[in-house]
């Protein structure tokens, strides 16, 4: 079952890609030196890899190459630590990269990112939450509730976060991500905090919710594990990212999920400070938020578009799988990435203290 | 553990050869050490020194990070739990490995090759894969629980993972070769005649073991234990996948380094781990020297 997961995040680059890159580079250096001077022949875009990179390639990399002649090469995920090291050591060899939105917000707060140039594309068609000063959200995934169908049905499952955090009402083993972000949001909603007033998170309320679950709780630390816990029956109901369970459900695994009261978590694109090809990086970003390309992306992987015009380009079957399609997005809420960039350290500390307490 | 050890062995084996040295092996050895030494300095010592320096570099006075670590009960508890886990894993691994190593050290021919293969093949399998294998076995609807339910040993599935027990079982499994191989190495060097001599002198099997075999095997015990203990301190994947509520320090360091980008704090945590490990190592070597009758760890034989 593990192999059926959409992919492990952060897969590494393979030989074929390296060879392609080398070939492209040598063409650039020998065959068409004048092009190499005018603009880069290739750009390297680190990303989460696996299924996400495949979707990126179809929707964004190939279309960009067609439009500009610049070939985009995928590369292994760069986490915040590596971006920080790269910028601080003046060794910026990446022009634009895909990174988790909370990590993007943390980098922005430290002043390690170039501001986004919104004159290059029309941001009025984007979701208001997507266009930030230093980063742009490029897809919408969700932290959601999933249950093992041998224990619960869509009717008997905990019908909201309050019931999820109340083992007395709905008996069963639970699982949550062992990290403060996302988990504390749903815990706060479980304690009764209104989803439209989720920030600042009422931490006392959130920890009280966690206290109630302590005896019936299993923690997960990776996306593959979160799905496996529910599918394998280690827990009866738990949190997962939607990309981790849709395929298992389709393939007949005993798992089902809901987008009710989902927490939107997003991928973003950032341009590291000191990037050499800023202009091309912005053009690439513009190509990414294009309505048609966003729709192509959402067809390849069940992460929703940030361009509101994309929904009309998608069929009903695809819309059903997307966290922020009109029918699924009614009760969901966006995570506040900048809140975590600011308050992260103290909340992490409190969360770690609760874990050992 | 001392670098000069092989040479001392050489002297013991062939005293005459050592007396008339045609060239200085000491100088030759020193030259051979140069490339690995340079490599270690460039890629290990300098980055490590950088980590230690970073821990003093954050905002506030130089010791701010250490003050935070030692005034936060949660961080101390995580450190304590990490050392407890490493100690438990080391002890269990030793208890399991010692008889295995003993039997294999006596084996010959195909049996020897087969047992070595059985020890080494898991060693070459990725930790992630072995950890997932343990999940399949230990989870609530896993192999072990289903089996025990079928046989009527238990009525409700036991919680075997996500609680420290499963994590330690998997860690012990992963660490076994690191203990068996040093033990085997030492045990194969033990002269069987010594045991026979003890028997001739009237020692019963228990006495033979306690007075002769065990002390002679101590270098292997100590080398294996140190290897397992120090590796266990830095375990990341297995605690992440099988662990319970409690956190090992590697996870905390990862959080600080890559989620919160607080490098001074991450460096300080790593430095504390390093210093405490070094102290324990020194203590341990002292203890082993005492147990080995005043000799250092490597040279008891």
Q: Are residues A100 and A81 both part of a single domain? A: yes
Does residue B261 lie in a domain region?
yes
User: Range with the lowest mean pLDDT among A157-161, B115-119, B191-195, B283-287?
Assistant: B283-287
Residue A185 clears pLDDT 70, i.e. is over it:
yes
Considering only CB atoms, A348 lies closest to which of B244, B258, B260, namely B260
Q: Are residues A246 and A194 both part of a single domain? A: yes
ipTM higher than threshold 0.90: no
Q: Are B252 and A352 an interchain contact pair (Cβ–Cβ within 8 Å)?
A: yes
Q: Are B241 and A217 an interchain contact pair (Cβ–Cβ within 8 Å)?
A: no
Does residue B226 lie in a domain region?
yes
Q: Are residues A47 and A113 both part of a single domain? A: yes
CA distances from A152 to A142, A159, A254, A293, B208 (A): 21, 11, 10, 38, 62
Q: Are residues A79 and A155 both part of a single domain? A: no
Does residue B252 lie in a domain region?
yes
Does residue B31 lie in a domain region?
no
Q: Are residues A107 and A35 both part of a single domain? A: yes
How many folded domains does chain B comprise? Answer: 1
User: Which pair of tokens denotes residue A91?
Assistant: 């060794």
A10 near B CB under 8 A: no
Q: Are B247 and A356 an interchain contact pair (Cβ–Cβ within 8 Å)?
A: yes
Does residue B42 lie in a domain region?
no
Residue A280 clears pLDDT 80, i.e. is over it:
yes
pLDDT (average), residues B250-270 = 90
User: Range with the lowest mean pLDDT among A13-27, A110-124, A208-222, B203-217?
Assistant: A13-27
- Among chain A residues, the shortest Cα distance to B245 is held by A355
Task: Answer for the pair B188, B229: CB distance below 8 angstroms, yes or no.
Answer: no
- Among chain B residues, the shortest Cα distance to A78 is held by B258
pLDDT (average), residues A80-104 = 93
- Among chain A residues, the shortest Cα distance to B139 is held by A234
Residue A21 clears pLDDT 80, i.e. is over it:
no
Cβ atoms < 10 Å from Cβ of A110: 16
Q: For residue A161, how far is the Cα from the chain centroid?
A: 21
- Residue to mutate among B245, B247, B249, B264, with most A CBs inside 10 A, is B245
Residue A11 clears pLDDT 70, i.e. is over it:
no
Residues A295-340 have pLDDT tens digits of 999 999 999 999 999 999 999 999 999 999 999 999 999 999 999 9
Smallest CA-to-CA distance from A130 within A280, A302, A305 is with A305
Does residue B92 lie in a domain region?
yes
Q: Are strands A97-100 and A71-75 parallel, antiparallel or unpaired?
A: unpaired
| Full DSSP string of A212-241 | HHGGGEEEE-SHHHHHHHHHTTSSSEEEEE
Does residue B5 lie in a domain region?
no
Q: Are residues A66 and A120 both part of a single domain? A: yes
Considering only CB atoms, B245 lies closest to which of A84, A344, A355, namely A355
Considering only CB atoms, A221 lies closest to which of B136, B142, B241, namely B241
Residues of chain B neighbouring A219 (CB-CB closer than 8 A): 162, 243-245
Q: Are residues A240 and A178 both part of a single domain? A: yes
- Residue-range definition of the domain harbouring residue A112: 2-139+270-321
Q: Are A348 and B139 an interchain contact pair (Cβ–Cβ within 8 Å)?
A: no
Residues of chain B neighbouring A110 (CB-CB closer than 8 A): 261
Q: Are strands A255-270 and A136-148 parallel, antiparallel or unpaired?
A: antiparallel
- Residue-range definition of the domain harbouring residue B147: 72-299
What burial class does residue A57 get, using C-beta atoms within 10 Å of its C-beta: 0-12 exposed, 13-18 middle, 19+ buried? Answer: middle
CATH of the domain at A161: 3.40.190.10
Residues of chain A neighbouring B136 (CB-CB closer than 8 A): 232
Residue A42 clears pLDDT 70, i.e. is over it:
yes
Q: Are residues A314 and A351 both part of a single domain? A: no
Q: How close, in Å, is residue B38 to chain A by CA atoms?
A: 24
Q: What is the pLDDT of residue A275?
A: 95
CATH of the domain at B155: 1.10.3720.10
DSSP state of A289: S
| Residue A31 banded pLDDT, cuts 50, 70, 90 | very low
Q: Are residues A145 and A236 both part of a single domain? A: yes
d(CA A224, CA A89): 34
Could you tell me what percent of chain A has a pLDDT over 70?
A: 89
Does residue B21 lie in a domain region?
no
How many folded domains does chain A comprise? Answer: 2
Q: How close, in Å, is residue B169 to chain A by CA atoms?
A: 17
Q: Are residues A167 and A199 both part of a single domain? A: yes
Q: Are residues A40 and A186 both part of a single domain? A: no
Task: Answer for the pair B140, A234: CB distance below 8 angstroms, yes or no.
Answer: yes
- Between residues A110 and A25, the one the model is more confident about: A110
Q: Are B261 and A80 an interchain contact pair (Cβ–Cβ within 8 Å)?
A: yes
Smallest CA-to-CA distance from A294 within A83, A138, A150 is with A138
Q: Are A357 and B74 an interchain contact pair (Cβ–Cβ within 8 Å)?
A: yes
Q: Are residues A90 and A47 both part of a single domain? A: yes
Residues of chain B neighbouring A235 (CB-CB closer than 8 A): 140
């Amino acid at each position: 079952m593990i192999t059926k997961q959409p992919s492990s995040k952060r897969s590494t680059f393979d030989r074929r890609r390296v060879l392609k890159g080398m070939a492209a580079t040598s063409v650039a250096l020998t065959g068409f030196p004048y092009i190499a001077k005018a603009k880069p022949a290739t750009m390297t875009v680190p990303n989460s890899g696996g299924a996400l990179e495949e979707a990126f390639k179809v929707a964004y990399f190939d279309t960009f190459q067609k439009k500009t002649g610049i070939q985009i090469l995928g590369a292994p995920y760069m986490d915040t630590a590596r971006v920080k090291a790269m910028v601080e050591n003046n060794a910026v060899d990446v022009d634009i990269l895909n990174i988790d939105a909370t990590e993007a917000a943390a980098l922005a707060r430290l002043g390690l990112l170039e501001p986004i140039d919104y004159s290059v594309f029309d941001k009025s068609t984007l979701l208001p939450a997507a266009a930030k000063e230093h980063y742009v959200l490029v897809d919408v995934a969700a932290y959601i509730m999933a249950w093992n169908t041998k224990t619960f049905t869509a009717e008997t499952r905990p019908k909201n976060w309050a019931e999820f955090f109340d083992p007395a009402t709905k008996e069963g083993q639970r699982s949550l991500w062992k990290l403060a972000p996302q988990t504390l949001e749903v815990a706060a909603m479980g304690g009764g905090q209104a989803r439209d007033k989720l920030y600042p998170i009422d931490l006392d309320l959130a920890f009280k919710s966690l206290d109630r679950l302590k005896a019936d709780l299993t923690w997960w630390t990776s996306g593959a594990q979160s799905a496996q816990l529910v599918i394998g029956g280690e827990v009866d109901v738990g949190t997962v990212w939607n990309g981790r369970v849709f395929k298992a459900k389709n393939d007949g695994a005993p798992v089902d999920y809901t987008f009710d009261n989902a927490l939107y978590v997003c991928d973003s694109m950032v341009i590291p400070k000191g990037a050499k090809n800023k202009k091309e990086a912005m053009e690439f970003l513009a190509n990414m938020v294009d309505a048609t390309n966003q729709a192509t992306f959402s067809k390849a992987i069940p992460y929703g578009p940030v361009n509101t015009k994309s929904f009309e380009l998608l069929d009903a079957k695809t819309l059903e799988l997307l966290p922020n399609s009109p029918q699924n997005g009614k009760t969901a809420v966006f995570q506040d990435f900048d809140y975590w960039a600011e308050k992260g350290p103290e909340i992490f500390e409190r969360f770690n203290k609760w874990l050992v307490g | 553990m001392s670098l000069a050890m092989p040479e001392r062995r050489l002297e013991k084996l062939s005293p005459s050869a050592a007396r008339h040295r045609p060239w200085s092996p000491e100088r030759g050895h020193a030259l051979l050490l140069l490339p690995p030494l340079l490599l270690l300095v460039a890629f290990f010592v300098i980055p490590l020194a950088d980590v230690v320096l970073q821990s003093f570099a954050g905002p506030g006075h130089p010791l701010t990070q250490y003050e935070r670590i030692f005034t936060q009960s949660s961080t101390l508890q995580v450190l304590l739990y990490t050392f407890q886990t490493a100690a438990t894993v080391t002890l269990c691994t030793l208890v399991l490995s010692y008889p295995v190593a003993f039997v294999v050290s006596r084996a010959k021919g195909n049996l020897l090759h087969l047992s070595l293969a059985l020890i080494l093949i898991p060693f070459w399998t990725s930790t992630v894969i072995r950890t997932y294998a343990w999940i399949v076995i230990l989870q609530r609807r896993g192999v072990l629980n289903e089996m025990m339910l079928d046989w009527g040993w238990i009525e409700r599935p036991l919680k075997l993972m996500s609680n420290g027990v499963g994590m330690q079982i998997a860690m012990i499994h992963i660490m076994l070769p690191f203990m068996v191989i040093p033990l085997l190495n030492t045990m194969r060097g033990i002269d069987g005649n010594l045991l026979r001599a003890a028997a001739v002198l009237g020692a019963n099997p228990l006495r033979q073991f306690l007075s002769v075999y065990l002390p002679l095997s101590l270098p292997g015990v100590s080398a294996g234990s140190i290897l397992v203990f120090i590796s266990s301190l830095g375990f990341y994947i297995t605690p992440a996948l099988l662990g319970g509520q409690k956190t090992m320090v590697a996870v905390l360091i990862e959080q600080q380094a890559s989620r919160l980008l607080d490098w001074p704090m991450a460096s300080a945590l790593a430095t504390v781990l390093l210093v405490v490990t070094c102290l324990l190592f020194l203590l341990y070597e002292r203890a082993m020297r005492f147990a080995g009758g005043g000799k250092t760890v490597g040279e008891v034989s």
